[in-house]
Structure 1
Amino acid sequence: MSVTQQYLLDTYRARQHGEAAPPAPGTHDWQIVREWRDHRRFRAVLAERPAQGRIRRALHRWLGPRPRSTR
């Protein structure tokens, strides 16, 4: 059963019982992403690491400055 079919079934059952309809799939996706990001930053602070810009700094260290060609 797909997510959409499950949602429609849940909505039908809620209507039959006079309850509020469940939220549509994907309604709270961005909220979950924000909470995950905040939790990751919090864990970084607890571990005494920089909370922001870690990926960019890691990529810069990994890739390093590229030497320019002299052609």
Structure 2
Amino acid sequence: MSVHQQYALDTYRAAQRGEPAPPAPGLHDWAAVRELRDYRRFEAVLAGRPARGRIRLALARLLPAGRRHRAAGC
């Protein structure tokens, strides 16, 4: 059974029982991905590892180790 067939069946059952329809498949996928990213960052901070963003990672790849500038407070 495909995801869409299961959704149609669940929607039909909910209508028969007078319950609200379930959310459409894929509706909250990006929110789940963001939650996972935030959770991993939080776990990294608790473990004592700095949470690194995309910009810092890109600069670390582009600049040689001796030329990296570390601003005060970072």
Structure 2 spans left out of the alignment, 5+ residues:
65-74
1:31 matched to which residue of 2?
A: 31
TM-score of the pair, normalised by structure 2? 0.71
1:8-45 deviation digits (Å, cap 9, x = unpaired): 00000000111100000011111101110110000110
* Misfit runs of 4+, over 6 Å: none
Cα RMSD of the aligned pairs, angstroms, is 2.2
Structure 1 spans left out of the alignment, 5+ residues:
66-71
Distance in 2 separating the partners of 1:14 and 1:8:
10
Report the alpha carbon displacement of residue 47 of structure 1 after superposing the two structures with TM.
Answer: 1.3
